[in-house]
Structure 1
Amino acid sequence: MDVNALTLLVEILDAGNLSEAARRLKMSRANVSYHLNHLEKSIGLQLVRRTTRRVEPTEIGLKLYEHGRAIQNALLAARESVSTLGQSLLGRVRLSVPSGYGQLVMSEWLIRFKRLYPGIVLDVMFENRVEDLLRDEVDIAVRVMHEPPQNLVARDMGAVRYVACASAPWAAEHGMPETLEDLARAPVITATVVGRQLRLAGYLGDERHEVLLEPSIISENFLFLRQSILEGLGVGIVPDYVVHDDLRNGLVVTSLDTWRLSIFGTHMYMLYMPNRHHTRAASTFIDYVLAEARKSGRGAVANDQVS
């Protein structure tokens, strides 16, 4: 069987549709479709199911994809070994991180990594969207969520703790919420998902409670949310790392500390595609970030596994 044909199949299934595969391969969509049809005819079996938006592998298509991916990974590893022989670590890592966690926690890690490995290009996107995490050929994504997608490798980077907090002057003047229901009546400052109602879950022991919030300030920019809290505009519902230094310095106070609060997720995960060849640069980066997460007291010790 032609190795190029297997590579084409891998690219089509990785891209998710023929048009995206054509863009990545710098071919016309008709040409990609022609080569796929030729491969299926040579085997005598259907390899992918086509819908209006996506292509999905058949059982035999998935088996051939796995063989093709293994061959592609071996070729990439061999090519990298030759190209980096006798050189310092080189390469590119395309990374997608949450805006708040990326700016307030990971920025220092990324800068230290870049100083350690000046030959590695870091291409970093700060975004919070959960859908289609690995679009645009992203190597690694970091996200807050309850459960990671089952089709991705997920590395646990630690629990995310939300706090109900306000500036010390605001708390002195208005008082802090003592129940979840108090939050529903307070001017809340938080992030939210566009088009969805914001439901705050609170856990007290084995009991789970839920309250619907109508925030007065909403943003995906956590630096702006932090500034709004410090300026006394209301009660923030944010991850603890957003106001960590402000709490330590007494600028911000918290309430409902016996509750475990949750909005978007309880854990931070590093996500990437299974069976995708990692360059030495990407593998080094993954190990470095997981080590930093462990040192910060957040990361869990975990092995690579598809969740």
Structure 2
Amino acid sequence: MSAPMDLHALTLLVDILDAGSLSEAARRLKTSRANVSYHLSQFERNLGQQLVRRSTRRIAPTEVGLQLYEHGRKIRDELAAARDTVSTLGQTLQGRVRLSVPSGYGQLVMAPWLIEFKRSHPGIVLDVAFENRVVDLMRDEVDIAVRVMSEPPDQLVARDMGPVRYVACASRAYAEAHGMPAQLGDLCTAPLITSAVVGRQLRLAAYLHGERHEVPLSPTLTSENFHFLRQAIEAGVGVGLVPDYVVQDLIDRGEVLTALDDWKLSIFGTRMVMLYMPNRHPTRAAATFVDFVLARARQT
């Protein structure tokens, strides 16, 4: 008869592989690396199977280890959801949601939603990072990420939050002094204000009548801070190429003018997408947050 499975050891295996190294697992579990290594070795000895291949920097699961990891992650998440359900019976909703959002969209669009959600659910801890880099949800311990993209990764659950529309725009004073871009190619020579990725050639994808065009860009001013980009556009520094939500109120008031309005413009992607891990039973806090944000996104 086989020995019963040690659930504590199984969840430790999940924690180790999620962390990517024994040292990081020890840090997250607030224990020593030697303690983590000992319990992993004991688990392997009891099973008579190697579960993890160790190297000086990284670890990787064996085939058996990966199968156990998948089972263990489901069990761990089900237990967490069960504890969450029991602890919140008859109480206000509690829990923690770790969230990663784009700097511009997060600050200019999502911030009021997050504040509204927090007021409605004071027992939920929101841990919000404003960042534009690609996030590894498992490695970075992120529950939910919001990103601009055209093709979401297959290994994640992707919920559509709506289109991202870029506009070519400038202050009225700039337009009167220098004119507005009349053709797509004018963006190559205009003093361009936009966001960019360090070390990567910035290219604009533009669509008209079903045809796709691509234009290399050489901005005169770039930043990940969209408040700063907005200020630069208002000040007449050049032609902005930014998502419409950055300057929509200025456009509505006539302070900022747009050009190339027949074109559909895109730099980093055409959709705003919410991402989270599959096969993970969401806590009530996370599930409530997802539903809330998707509802707000559909109202915009």
1:204 aligned to which of 204, 208, 212: 208
Aligned residue in 2 for 1:44: 48
1:190/1:219 contact within 8 Å kept: yes
List aligned pairs for 1:1-307, cutoff 5 A: 1-133=5-137, 135-296=139-300
Distance 1:56 1:268 in 2: 32
Give the 3 Å change call, closer, same or farther, for CA 151–51 of structure 1 in structure 2.
Answer: farther
- Equivalenced residue count is 296
Give the 3 Å change call, closer, same or farther, for CA 46–245 of structure 1 in structure 2.
Answer: same
Structure-1-length-normalised TM-score: 0.90
Q: CA RMSD in A?
A: 1.8
Give the 3 Å change call, closer, same or farther, for CA 257–50 of structure 1 in structure 2.
Answer: farther
Structure-2-length-normalised TM-score: 0.92
Q: Which amino acid aligns with 1:67?
A: H
Note the C-alpha offset of 1:52.
5.0
Note the C-alpha offset of 1:22.
1.4
1:191/1:220 contact within 8 Å kept: yes
Give the 3 Å change call, closer, same or farther, for CA 228–16 of structure 1 in structure 2.
Answer: same
Distance 1:134 1:46 in 2: 23
Distance 1:110 1:210 in 2: 36
1:152/1:271 contact within 8 Å kept: yes
Question: CA deviation digits over 1:231-273, x for unaligned, max 9?
Answer: 1110011011111111111111111112221211111111112
Local SS of the residue matching 2:153: coil
Structure 2 alignment gaps of length 5 or more = none
User: What's the % identity of the aligned pairs?
Assistant: 72
Distance 2:148 2:128 in 1: 17
Distance 2:289 2:256 in 1: 34
2:158/2:274 contact within 8 Å kept: yes
Question: CA deviation digits over 1:177-214, x for unaligned, max 9?
Answer: 12222111010000000111211121223322222211
